A and B are shown apart, each in its own frame.
Chain A
Amino acid sequence: MSVLASAHQQEIPAFQADDDTCPQCKSERYLNKPMKLLVGPCYHKMCESCVTQRFDAGPAPCPVCERILRKAEFYQQIFEDLTVENEVRIRKRMAMIFNKRQEDFKQLKDYNDYLEMVEDITLKLLYDEDTDEAEFLIEKYRRDNTALIVKNQTKLRREEVIQRLIFDQEQLKRQQQWEEQKKQYAKEEREKAEIKNSLITALATSTMDAKDIVKAKMIQLKKSSLSSRNAMRSVQFNYDDLLADVDDGNDLDEGEAESAPLDPAESPYEPVNIELMDRYDDPFSAFRQGGLTAAGVTREMHQRYLIEGALAGLFARPLDDDDSVAEQQ
């Protein structure tokens, strides 16, 4: 996602300085608080009213550089430095067209070459060298890759939508959890107060020993707070349903949705299936002799380790001479 797009999404305010002055009508922010300074494609500034005045009737030359401009081409600047603004804009435009991804390439080298080609064109535009050639290259690329560009753009949009949905859902979830917790606390407070009240009435009316009554009530109090803690559950969301909504009517890449879920704790090796017995007759156990005192080592773990050792490579074929000849070659 380009900087500019994310800036719009998160509503970063446009850049404004206190000593802004419109170079055309010379009106100052000091006198005209809501004044909006706009920037055109030639990076000359003008206030909003000047732009309306000058370009309402149609394309007109810029008063500074005489370049023909349109009203729609003016926008509010985001960065203070106009060269940064320029670079961001150029890069945004390039990213719209050159939107191939690494998975579109067979080899990493091809992808890197492509990135370098894009960067070369971008730099040409940035430093105003061979702009014609750069424009020609961009146009040529656009014509050659129309289908892929459109496909990648829809993909990008879809990802953005999903991102936003997940973000919204997470916020909602947090809020619901917070409210649930608040309710829980209120309930707890209420129960505590009730128990206290009943304690006072019991002390006043009952004929039992005061100590016993207090003891019984304290136990009740502890129990109630425990049970309410246990009842607190986090609100669960199903992201799969969410994604299914987004995918409806969207063209999905084949097989993308069917990949198995990744288990980060999965062993990279073939698992060994061992069923341990409940009890082994084991007079040699290191546990008996006070060994294996490392934290977390259990008798079962050690037994499993030993049996794994017994099964490891039990059916491995010894090397024969054909193998070793092949290895040497």
Chain B
Amino acid sequence: MNIRSKAWKLLMVGGLGASLLAGCGGSDEAANSAEKVTVSKEGFPIVETPIKLTMMAPDVGIQNWEDMVVLQEMAKKSNVSFEYKNAPKESFDTKKNLVFASEDYPDVFYAAGLTPSEQLKYGEQGVLIPLEGLIDEYAPNFKALLDEYPDVRKSITAPDGHIYSLPVVEFSQHWYRNPMWYNGEFLEALGIDKLPETTEELYDYLKRVKEEDPNGNGKADEIPISSVTTSAANVRDIRTWLLGAFGIYEEEIYVDDSDVVHFTPVEEGYKQYLEYMNRLWTDGLLDPESFSQTGEQKKAKGQNNQLGLFSDWHAYMTKGGEPSDKDPMFLPVRSEYVDKAAIAKNRGITTGAFAITKTNPYPEASMRWVDYLYSYEGALLFNKGPEGTLWEYENEADRTKKALPVPGGGDSEEYRSTLTPNYGIPAPTVSMDDITKGLKNDFDLWVEKETKTKLLDNGARAPFPALFLTVEEQSEINSLNSDLSTYVKQMEAKFITGAEPISGWGAYVETLNKMGANRVKEINQAAYDRWKAS
């Protein structure tokens, strides 16, 4: 007893002391420290006398940001320079939370991936300042973009009517997830010239891969379809594409054509998907290691030429060798239950890429700075680096470019990552076809064509818009999801492998509803209706 009471006293004293300390730390407001500077509304430089701000951003550890040519050039051009507070990308979130907790805010967040709930929470408390006024005054390029695409404005406007962050806009990136690819050599060996269009035809192809030795090594070592499981989800890389055959756009939440929101794991189509997968599993067509292998092990199988159908960014990344147009993209198949396959498309917008905090003494200049990234020239600079390094104009008028040899040889993407911060992080910018005009090689063009004919022309659309939940909705979803998603994941694996017979479906749905599946659906429906109406 004594020990405890003393410990409590100490605890209280320590606690008080620290919280007092914490209290007198941060809160020096920006307003009193900033001298007035005139921010020009157009053209460069943005300010006459150079100013310096702090920027917090994730970093992939290749080049120090101070040494990046693109950022140096931008600073010279605009007279706005930054002190960079980088944190490694993998642990950026930890550091971001500490920054908010310690009130040690940077002036701007760059590529910070602020979640909708963070934007809302910190926006409502005034840590992130509302941007809509600044956009109207100081962001001509971004404003033009919003006027052209009203959905973007809808998606970045929080339920309280303010805009707290600028997005990544990528209308030229259509894939919802990595596509699947057929092994071209297998198709040829089996004499298949028309890709499967239905789940039955797909089944037949997979069966033939297993039985007819298409890699011709005399061993039955072919694996018709292989997948990997991450801690986040099972077989997600192939699931996205197979769910579509049963009319389902996405694995968790999607909206159908009549504005009704669906929670996938309780859908009838999801059950049909499970039955199909169970059939593949039972007949040995789905790699039995799909639930336990690492991505590297799967790649090794690809390099051994064992895989018939697999998912990756490009086929050659799994199969090894050079980029090749011999491995066709998977054409979404349909089952007997639907007329056409549901195909998910990237919604092309990621919110939370750029935000300005209340301690920023020059919000106008910051907005002008980032607005340049939404212009053609700015997006080009930040994406491809300055002219004369990796590219030069062939015809500046129609924006055609040609690639230059990589200085010092080596991989051009790798070199690019030393020039610009926009490598592997969700940076605020817009992607336009003009940026890459003339820089695309035959392989890029082929991939583009595959994407168009197989996905876009077949009715691909975004499964669910980027939208905001209120703080309360978000926290309810979070607490429901921690059990729900685990249970769904576990049962999916059991249904597919037959550890749980599909006759257990009824009990499974009942359990899901007890865990709050209905609430998840209702909350998302409400949020969607708000988004639609705004």
**Chain B associates with chain A:** no
